[in-house]
Structure 1
Amino acid sequence: MSLAGKKVVLGITGGIAAYKTPDLVRKLTAQGAIVRVVLTDSATHFVSELSLQAVSGHPVSTDLLDPTAEAAMGHIELAKWADILLIAPATANTLAKLANGIADDLLTTLFLATTAQVVIAPAMNQQMWKAMPTQANINRVQQYGAFLVGPADGEQACGDVGPGRMLEPEAIVESLMTYISREQPLAGKSLVITAGPTRESLDPVRFISNHSSGKMGFAIAQQALALGAKVTLVAGPVNLPTPVGASRINVESADQMLEAVMSQVANSDIFIATAAVADYRASDIADNKIKKNADTLTLTFVKNPDILKTVAGLPNPPFCVGFAAESQNVEAYAQKKLADKKLDMIAANDITRAGLGFNSDANALHVFWKDGSVELPPQPKTELALALLNLINERYQLQHS
């Protein structure tokens, strides 16, 4: 698919890769796109307005408060005009602003004001890319609905070698064309997704819980929306922004999560249980804070409801996908859960693998169904979520064909 007729606002930030943007504009216009360029103040040190105006055929915008721009196509009008907001290169500083809703220049204001599809091509030093704040910001802007292209891995201008290079202009255009032409195989489907941990109270100030961050479930919700699904996200106590377009129900305990799920699941086509639900809760919750009066403390626990098994046991259940986070005998435990709970599919991960699983932005899954399995290798959770959803849709279609 070409970009013919697509209105693209290209936002350029102050990274060395900005020198490649005149070529990027040429390649976008060669595919039929209409391109208008926005430069941040720091970007003007790396590429000239004149060169970008020459290749785009339109004046370049730089100032949020430019009186002439406001008279013609100000930031709100430009935000409404765009079909695509492409930010390339996107520096670590700009990503931090986007992730936190800071609008202190024309480009970041456009990001907040537009309903266009946002595409981001990061470019920065490899250590800056790997830094935890940057990865958190990347995760957040993706949850806002932005699509990430790159970065590439290789030698950088500073002499370091590693991930962080902006993709070459040709690769950015190809990725953009692939993205806008993608199908929406989940259009018309309703998904209920659980995510995060549960908290089971012991007294007014204490609870038991687990290390689940909710990132996998939120990534699945984000990608399901991109594939056209209607998504209800039942979330335990996590500090993650709601994917744009999802309906979110916040819960604390397993009982609350069960109630929320059962209120939604009757009208759903697919149920994906990524939440790490506590297996047990205290048999009695103390009315007052438990005091430290002895060297030992004995508590009695009772089983929590099995939400996934309850849903799978309904007279007309949705397509049920479970998750199994295991520290040993991963395949055996996963297949046992698949059979015992009468699931359609289960995705298992080995929590002992370094850098994957709980609180990480990456994971790997071994997915099982009744007569087959597929291993999904280590990758960012957003990409893993897409691969898993494509697999779920494939099995769902086979079951309903």
Structure 2
Amino acid sequence: MFDGLPLAWFQPFIDTATGRIAGVEALGRLRQDDGQVQSVGPLFTDPRTLPAALRRLDRQIRGNALSRLHEAPPEWFLSLNMSPRWISRLRDNQPLPSLSQLQRHGVAPQRIVFEITELGGDSRRLTEVVQRYRDAGARIAIDDFGAGYSQLDRVLALQPDILKLDMRLFQAAARGGPSSEVVKALAQMAEKTGCWIIAEGVETEAELNFALECGSRYVQGYLFARAEPDFFPTDAFVSRFAALRERYVQGKLQERARLMQLRQQLIKLMALLHPWAQAGAPLSELPKLDAYPWLLRFYQCDRHGTQLTPNMEWRQHAWHADTSYVGHNWSWRPYFYHLLAEGWDERRLILSNTYRDATSNQYCLTAGQFFDNGQRLLLIDVDAVRF
């Protein structure tokens, strides 16, 4: 037996398109006789807690949440956590307890998101049960996406409707660094597979901005609300979210303005370097480039992407020629496709997206422009952080 009355508290999901509450997640609490409330989370991670007692507690909390869903607006969804370990214990064709609970409480499955937690459980049985949930009309989410490699296998097997980014990974990624690129890649994968992204653990404006950068459909976290025993009004956070979103958009506009300024400077730099490159002049005759402190290197390729010249690199307060990459072919890189598709006829400058250079471990942009009647290509690598 557990000390306290099992209850469901509710933490809202904010729709990033409207700022309105789109649904809530049911989170377990135990209310003591003195009115104090404790989370049941530690009980579910304590190996000493008997599984049968946990299943009973979970169903009580879920039943409490379902019994109160009629108090919420009819367009809201309710997210319920489901353990794969418990699903694995079900017999073939056994009625699903969760669907039976929905029927008893008169809740349409279309309002329910079953959130698959943890990495355990029998994969075959889990896939079968998830399909039965989906056939009934419920949606499927995978929690803590990105927390383990096997999650990728689970995504392919279950084909979820929603992916919840792992909170610790998400918060680390919002601070920048390599994990940022990992989470963006996960978000792009989700988009390509038709999944909506939920960013949970959004506690700061910077984390909200990163969630929007990742294309999150919903956000959840203390920046807006903790779990509460009662439902918030649907429009409770609309004004605040709109102000935060506007600041994010203004920041992106400023980034775009800086990028446009960089493009103009690169056009001038290209015009400065083209005569030098066209003449095949030595480094000693290189034009003065002090006005471009973010310039990392430049080199030439033929129209097929094969590098013709050394990398001209700025090191130790001087320009040096690195011959390591002469003869390498870069035609497979995305910026080269763009150059061929967009820059060939008009000979205009093409600028790549920001990427991390594998050799220098720096964030870079690459600009390219054809010259010499389209027979050669001048490529410039720029330090994206300094600009």
TM-score under structure 1 length normalisation: 0.30
Larger Rg: 2
Scaled by the length of structure 2, the TM-score of the pair is 0.31
